[in-house]
Amino acid sequence: MITSVINRRTFLTTSAAFGATLAAFPRDAFSVADTVITILHTNDTHSQIDPLPANDRNAGMGGVARRATLVKRIRKENPNTLLVDAGDVLQGTPYFNFYKGEVEYKAMSAIGYDAGTLGNHEFDNGVEALAAALKFANFDVVSANYDVKGTVLESKVKRYVVRTLGGIRVGLFGLGVSPTALITPENFKGVTYIDPVVAAREVVKKLRDEERCALVVCMSHLGYVETGDRGDTFVASQVDGIDFIAGGHTHTFMEKPVTQAQPCGAKTLIFQVGKSGIYVGRVDFTFRSGKLASASARLLDLRNV
């Protein structure tokens, strides 16, 4: 399923220059005591190793080499940077057909991804094939609602991870879409799907109360669904404590992030950047005295790299 929350032509002409300050987090002038945590995110890259071909409407855009250059530059500017992915790394070009995920995960490792979650297409060749591909992933793969205990994925997929940057503890977890009608049962054999709201509540509580995380980030392959269903907005509306959802699955090109009220009244930021690695999303979280003070977000256009 592919959706768009803006006019496509308008998006392509305006997105690169876009910079949004979030109303949920009042923006103040930076101080010496500020710590900025930068989250870079991608989704649904679908084995697009090279820039898109000439016959594609986004010809020349994307490609892992440009992404690597961009990430290196941003990390030089701000060492407190994390790079995450919201799933469907696999499937879509002959690279996957021939190399079964090796090329994609090697490329992500070379770029320097810190964490990623699983999309439905990660299971296209089955659980054992996915485990074999993940041997080439030198970064953490997380999923809070795919229970992989007892499968060959058990040693390769974690419920969550915690990173500390600039003294700020950041909790990272993932959520996957229901396999019903999306993943062949045989290819999902041994994996148990858990309702994402139930899983998120449990893992966020652990990240906040036990791991003492000041920032909680979810990589979601549930999809951007504005009302109903179990998409990103629904999960955010039902779960306290998620600061940011880096979304995927619906290939939604968002000109700017949206916010969703949590049950407690706080806001969750939701951002999804289309597909094929055409764009990279960037969110800067500013901490003052260890507490989240503000956030700003924008799209990064790889054509300018």
Between 33 and 238, the more confident residue is 238
Strand bridging mode 81-85 / 146-147: unpaired
Task: Please write the tens of the pLDDT for every residue from 173-204.
Answer: 999 999 999 999 999 999 999 999 999 999 99
Assess whether pLDDT exceeds 50 at residue 269: yes
Assess whether pLDDT exceeds 90 at residue 227: no
Measure the CA–CA gap between 183 and 17, rounded to whole angstroms: 38
Measure the CA–CA gap between 178 and 184, rounded to whole angstroms: 12
Q: Per 3-state DSSP, what percentage of the chain is helix, strand, and coil (rounded to 5)?
A: 25, 30, 45
Rg (the chain; Cα; Å)? 18
Contact between 294 and 269 (Cβ < 8 Å): no
Between 294 and 29, the more confident residue is 294
Where does the pLDDT of residue 301 fall: very low under 50, low under 70, confident under 90, or very high at 90 and above?
A: confident
Tell me what the pLDDT averaged over the chain comes to.
Answer: 90
Average pLDDT, integer, range 253-259: 94
Q: What is the structure's pLDDT at 8?
A: 40
Task: Please write the tens of the pLDDT for every residue from 21-73.
Answer: 343 444 344 455 799 999 999 999 999 999 999 999 999 898 999 999 999 99
Assess whether pLDDT exceeds 70 at residue 91: yes
Measure the CA–CA gap between 299 and 83, rounded to whole angstroms: 14
Task: Please give the share of the chain, as a percent, with pLDDT higher than 90.
Answer: 84
- Residue 7: partners with Cβ closer than 8 Å, 6 or more residues away: none
Task: Please write the tens of the pLDDT for every residue from 105-122.
Answer: 999 999 999 999 999 999
Q: What is the structure's pLDDT at 302?
A: 82
Task: Please write the tens of the pLDDT for every residue from 120-143.
Answer: 999 999 999 999 999 999 999 999
Average pLDDT, integer, range 280-291: 96
Half-sphere exposure of 218 (CA within 13 A, CB side): 35
Between 229 and 11, the more confident residue is 229
Beta bridge partners of 215: 170
- Residue 140, sorted as left (phi over 0), alpha (psi -120 to 50) or beta, turns out to be beta
Q: What is the structure's pLDDT at 275?
A: 96
- Domains in the chain, start-ordered, CATH in brackets? 39-52+63-278 (3.60.21.10)
What's the DSSP call for residue 4? B
Q: Is the dihedral of CA 48, 52, 56, 58 positive or negative?
A: positive
Measure the CA–CA gap between 204 and 30, rounded to whole angstroms: 29
Strand bridging mode 34-42 / 81-85: parallel
Of 144, 169, 284, 150, the residue nearest 221 (C-alpha): 144
Average pLDDT, integer, range 136-161: 98
Q: What is the structure's pLDDT at 12?
A: 37
Q: What is the structure's pLDDT at 9?
A: 38
Q: What is the structure's pLDDT at 228?
A: 65
